[in-house]
Amino acid sequence: MDVPFHKMHGTLNDFVVFHDPHGRVRLSPEDVAGICHRRAGVGADGVIVVRPSPVADFFMDYVNADGSLAEMCGNGIRCLAKYVYDTGLTGKTTLPVETRAGLKTVELFAGADGAVERVRVNMGQPIFDPALIPVTIHSDGRPILDYPVDALGRTFHATILSMGNPHCVILVDGDIEDLPRKYGSTIESHELFPKKTNVEFIRIVDRNRIVMRVWERGSGETFACGTGACASAVAARLAGRVDEDCVVELLGGDLDIKWKDMIYPVVMTGTAVKVYEGILTI
């Protein structure tokens, strides 16, 4: 079967995106891993299949590069929004998208050429219930802050939460560039996390800027992670280190994150880019 696709990225977190309106395409984990392979395939951090939804305009069927299912992808949903608008699947500039982490509302902002350039996403409220993250820590529903996590002989202190998928956010005062490669895999599979976790190392620049490096569950070190940027902004705000509007600086670019306090959703704004079109033979 030949399937037209778009190669896309959001802050260099890249995806293969295609539409499957009739449910004809079924990808095995091996299929996804092959598509995402950087040398033998298209090369991507994951695959997004745009499918029909009974409760929203579209369903985002997102799969990590290793073939594992993911509940949510913040950079991916921005790419999906651009894809459906630019290909004429919708004319709406505000629309609901169903994900495995629930409904998300996206707002689309077009450039001078009429194509979508930026997307704002209501990411919902951060989740602190250990059973829903999930994490094997008892916290009475209170945020899990400054929790010791041991990895390769080093103890980190983490804020643990979910943005629809699990995150372990570690605030570091010094250099963070090499930390994902050195410790990410070990923390991802730590016994605290029954479904594994995404791992963010962050450094606070000032009250409006965070530098983040990430190890994504199922994908390894990536240039960006939208849900991770949201989790990092939440963790920094809970620590009293940033204001409600901040920029998260990633290897692939900046994301604007807004979070006021516990009763409010996290709102993420960032770019979405089409790289090229192609045909997959599946």
Q: Annotated catalytic, 246?
A: no
Closest CA to 224 of 120, 73, 68: 73
d(CA 208, CA 206): 5
d(CA 20, CA 62): 13
Q: Annotated catalytic, 73?
A: yes
CA distances 7 to 93, 95, 108, 187, 275, Å, are 22, 22, 19, 30, 5
Catalytic one among 36, 73, 168, 246?
A: 73
**One-letter amino acid of 267:** V
Catalytic one among 36, 79, 168, 225?
A: 225
d(CA 17, CA 9): 10
Listed in sequence order, the DSSP H helices in 5-64 are 29-36
Active site residues: 73, 225
